[in-house]
Amino acid sequence: MNSPSNFFISENNVPFIDYFKFGISVDCVIFGYSKGRVRILLIERDADPFKNSWALPGDLVSLNSNLDDAANDVLKNLTGIDNIFMEQFYSFGEMDRHPAGRVVTVGYYSLVENKNYNPVASSWAKSIQWFDIYNLPELAFDHKKIVMRGIQTLKRRVRYRPVGFELLPVKFTLTELQDLYEALLDSKFDKPNFRKKILSMDLLIPLNETQGNVSHRPAKLYKFDEKRYELLKDDGFVFDI
């Protein structure tokens, strides 16, 4: 049986108090899609360390907040963006990643349509801007590493989950769908093969409508059949672009 003096010693013979000498933060990787381009939301810091540098919206987690709530609160506090779904994708715990001391950060990501949000810099964010994911400025801390991991996560998940449809109008053309996935995955698809594959999944509802106000031959419009996808998923169907 442990004595009181041993109760506060870990299995590695380190006093438990030493494990409370570091912080936890959250960093938000917000991807936006607009006009065939994928962008990421960055803030210009108006606080040390890395004052005047571009960074991800992020901050330390308070003692009275859980991680998910902290991520949403930090994003709202710095950008004004609220009520979006964010998902954890990785934790970053290198010993020297923060100049103030030992800080482990948990990365969250979300994929949104730019036009639906109007971010405004607040708190200690001096300014805020959308940047092309392949043309980023120098970033504070290890945020470049976090962004790269977020991009890897995004590419992996859009291939196997139909999250991309959320970025399209309710009614869309197959060309718009292909443009979206080419932007998200930074790759080109053969047009006939892409269309054959996406139509073979039987997840699109063909409409008796075509594009309007276009200079070229109007293309047929489709809708994503979310209910059918949920039924197919329950039967083991795997979305695979």
Domain boundaries defined on the chain:
16-156, 161-234
Residue 17 phi/psi, 5-degree rounding, is: -60, -30
The pLDDT score that the predictor gives to residue 15 is 65
Give the global pTM. Answer: 0.86
Cβ pair 55, 141 in contact under 8 A: yes
Q: Is 191 exposed, middle or buried (0-12, 13-18, 19+ CB in 10 A)?
A: exposed
CATH number attached to the domain at 161-234: 1.10.10.10
Strands 204-210 and 220-224: antiparallel
Topology of domain 16-156, CATH: Nucleoside Triphosphate Pyrophosphohydrolase (3.90.79)
As a whole number, the mean pLDDT across the chain is 89
Give tens-digit pLDDT for 74-131. 999 999 999 899 999 999 999 989 998 889 999 999 999 888 899 999 999 999 999 9
- 119 prior amide bond cis, ω within 30: no
CA dist., res. 160 & res. 153, Å (int): 11
What gap in Å lies between CA 99 and CA 51, rounded to an integer? 13
